Amino acid sequence: MLLGPPGAGKGTQAHRLQDRFDGVALISTGDIFRQNLRQGTPLGEEAKRYMDAGELVPDDVVVRMVSDALADQPGGFILDGFPRTVAQADALESELERSSRPLTGVLALALDDEAAVKRLAGRRTCSSCQRTYNVELHPPRREGVCDACGGELVQRDDDQELTVRRRLDVYHASTAPLVEFYRERGLLREVDADGSEDEVTSRALDALGETADRH
Ligand code: AMP
C-alpha cells in the first residue's frame, strides 16, 4: 500500500513497483474514479463533485468500490490512494482478514507541502494510461504526448493550486493519522519522497526488502 500526501509520487511509484513485481495488480482509487468519469457512469458523476472540490468521496462509496476491485484480483495487489481515512483502513483490515490476504507492507512517502504544490502544478497526466509526467522535473519526450502509450497529456482539474491546497489540508486532517495506524501494526516503511523517481524507487525497494523477503 502506498500512503502519502498528494504530489508525493504514489501513482508513479505504484506503476514502477508493479513493473518490478510480476503479476501484481494495481488498484488506484483515483484512477478508477477518473475512468468512471470519462465513461459517464453514475459513480463517476458522484465522485466528480468531491474530486473537483479537493474533498474525499464518502467512505461507503470507496469501500464498496475497493471490495469489488479486490474480489476481481485474487492474487497480490498494490493499493494506491486507498485507504485515506481510519474508517477505510478498518474496513480494509476486515475485508483482508476475511479473504486471508494480509497486508505485507505500507510505504509512507514523505514530502513537505510546498514541494507537493510545486510538483502538482507542473504535473501532466496521460488521458489514456494515467501515467504522469512533470513539465519541469520529468518532461515527456514529445510535448503533450505520453512516452508509454502515445496518449494525450492533460492537466487534472484538481491539480489547480487552490484545490491542491485543500487536498493537502484534507490529507493532514483525515489521512495522516494512518501513519500511526500502520506503525502500530508494524507495517509502516517510511520513505523520503524528495528526489528523482529512480532514487525514490530504490529507497522504496530497500524499505520493502525486509517485508518482501519475509513473504
Ligand atoms: P488521487 O488520484 O489518488 O489523488 O485521487 C483523486 C481524488 O479522488 C481525491 O482527491 C478524492 O476526491 C478521490 N479519492 C481517491 N481515493 C479516495 C479515497 N480512498 N477516499 C476518498 N476519496 C478518494
Task: In whole angstroms, give the CA distance from residue 74 to residue 58.
Answer: 26
Residue 136: predicted pLDDT: 87
* C-alpha to C-alpha distance for 192 and 132, rounded to whole angstroms: 19
**What pLDDT was estimated at residue 22?**
85
Task: State which residues of the chain have pLDDT below 50.
Answer: 210-215
pTM listed for this prediction: 0.90
Q: Tell me, in angstroms, the distance from the centre of ligand 1 to residue 52's CA.
A: 10
Residue nearest to atom 1 of ligand 1 (CA): 30
* 101 tagged catalytic: no
Q: How far apart are CA 100 and CA 20, in angstroms?
A: 24
Distance from the alpha carbon of residue 81 to the mean position of ligand 1, in angstroms: 6
Given this model, what pLDDT does residue 213 score? Answer: 44
What are residue 123's DSSP bridge partners? 134
Can you give the pLDDT at residue 125? 93
Whether residue 48 lies in the annotated active site: no
